[in-house]
Structure 1
């Protein structure tokens, strides 16, 4: 499953980030493989908002489509 398919309120673990450029973008947000996050909001035709600890991060759908996750 990819991050763009996660529903609001679901907790998930980052399983795989597809390539180096996407991995670099995720690392700028402080997101790496093995981390647990929570989906705070899914904006229709817009970004996915996730919570990491107390920080909210909005990421575009194109980035979210490249990140594989596992739902808790």
Structure 2
């Protein structure tokens, strides 16, 4: 590598530094998720429970008419 010269006429080119990444991830479809082995009915029931848990308490379903 040549030594530094303050009177150099052409700028030195930047050398790109590349480092190996440390990220580790699972690509979609490679590993089985717990939801992959559930039936459609089980997924629907889980969704219903999740939605009912997220609703505010005043959102109730009344099956009988008040007297």
For normalisation by structure 2, the TM-score amounts to 0.20
Which protein is richer in helix relative to its size? 2
Rg larger for: 2
Higher strand proportion (structure 1 or 2): 1
Between the two structures, name the one with larger relative contact order (CA 8 Å, sep ≥ 6).
1
Report the TM-score, using the length of structure 1 for normalisation: 0.19
